[in-house]
Amino acid sequence: MTLNTTSKAKMIIDKSFKISEVNPRIYGSFIEQLGRAVYGGIFEPTHATADEDGFRQDVINLVKELNVPIIRYPGGNMVSAYNWEDGVGPKESRPKRLDLAWNSLETNEVGTNEFVSWAKKVDAEVMMAVNLGTRGIDAARNLVEYSNHPGGTYWSDLRKSHGYQDPHNIKVWCLGNEMDGPWQIGMKTAYEYGRLAAETAKAMRLVDPTIELVSCGSSGSGMETFPQWEAETLEHTYEYADYISLHQYYGNRDNDTANYIANTLDMDNFIKTVIATCDYMKAKKRSKKTMNLSFDEWNVWFHSNDQDKQVEPWSVAPPLLEDIYTFEDAILVGSMLNTLLKHSDRVKMACMAQLVNVIAPIMTETGGGIWKQTIFYPYYYTSVYGRGTALHSIVDSPKYDSKDYTDVPYLDQSVVYNEETEELVIFAVNRNLENQLLVDVDIRSFEGYGLVEHVVLENEDPKAINTITNEQVKPHTNSKSYIENGTLTAVLPKLSWNMLRLKKNEEK
């Protein structure tokens, strides 16, 4: 079979080259009381599809399609000045508050109980964040008691009086948000945060010993204090937290596609540096515990920066951070998911920020329809089919240099093997802007496996977008890839995201 291509790569995949079981929480997301994420996003009582609780069922259906296992709430920057008590109890008596993080007016019509109810509707658990900006130990331990204690105490009985007899049993809790950031209400030094987080963690665990806790890492790899922040805060939180957080966003501000889609090299280095810092602290403390990572904010974010400056201050649910994503954004998102999978031995949770309207894969019109952004598709396929064991593959790929990176492989990939369903799934990005990539994949370890489907996301225009009336970027199947003599020959179109799904043939 002759193919017209100038780029070739090789891969070896073997069942024994295991990285780790993939924790489903790696496909989590995030809803913040920000912009139209809640009001006009997940919650719109006057919408034609609204259910008895005011939640949009068209949104619920798309979120369920993504198979999102865990959703972080309520922030984000807003949590650092948020009083959780404002969002519980009779709605008519809830106060309206200035949201200092986003210059908006928060009505508190949706709060802890409502969000937990919504999360159940989409089959997701809640990752709850507590305010360590303007508040601390007392408010955090009270919220755990309100949420998780069965009854017979002030806060648990208050929950019952609000109509929620059974405890919410929220298992994952974030100890604040981006506390190293100058933009954060109640920003802390590493020492201040470490001490407060450790003491808060201890109190929260006294209320519910079963919870899992996330300590704040740096707000991004570009922070001047990175990774010293991790080292100093872990001096205090290492034995109390189960995870340390990572946050990272990328944007193609220089309009340089080749450099932009190489940003996962930075993401990979970010993860490795945090792991090294955690392991240094493990050695320093002579601990038997290994600190895992929660990459609980990641995405592309830059398109809406200018328009956000024009929003009327102190308005309710203004259209903030409504990035309209391009095809090249979807390519990078696919590569970011690959990076998470390749570090699944330590990255046990991750949250695409965010889920609806705010830098999100799902967009809605208030009072109107709904549509899938370009980034929806790599997120969907990886979440649905990337369940099982991540495998380390041996890759030989041609490379290129860009403005910020050298030796960027044209082939970016991750591999997941699901032994239970006997499926092997390859997620592959061809970063080559000009040529298709022919990849010979040695799959002799998977004898008897056939190619079920090859899904491709491609477009001639890297800037192509989706709108409610015109979906320019959507997946299709590719029939050019084939298996012969223990080799999968994968034909990856230029600048494309791909999923190749193989399954063991049934014995006749």
Q: Which residues are catalytic?
A: 178, 297
Nearest to 363, CA basis, from 225, 226, 489, 471: 471
Give the separation between CA 298 and CA 79, rounded to whole angstroms: 18
H-run or E-run covering 433: none
Residues 347 and 272: beta-carbon distance below 8 Å: no
Residues 348 and 25: beta-carbon distance below 8 Å: yes
Q: CB under 8 Å to 455, separation ≥6 — which residues?
A: 381, 475, 476, 477, 478, 498, 499, 500, 501
Cα 301 to the chain's mean position, in Å? 13
**Residue 54 CB neighbour total at 10 angstroms:** 17
For 163, left (φ over 0), alpha (ψ -120 to 50), or beta? left
Give the separation between CA 328 and CA 495, rounded to whole angstroms: 8
Q: Encoding tokens for residue 142?
A: 């009270």
Q: Encoding tokens for residue 402?
A: 């860009």
- Identify the three-state secondary structure at position 292: strand
Give the separation between CA 497 and CA 398, rounded to whole angstroms: 17
Q: CB under 8 Å to 462, separation ≥6 — which residues?
A: 257, 326, 327, 328, 331, 433, 495
Give the separation between CA 305 and CA 322, rounded to whole angstroms: 9
- 303, burial (CB in 10 Å: exposed 0-12, middle 13-18, buried 19+): buried
What string of DSSP letters covers 257-271? HHHHTTTHHHHHHHH
Residues 150 and 94: beta-carbon distance below 8 Å: no
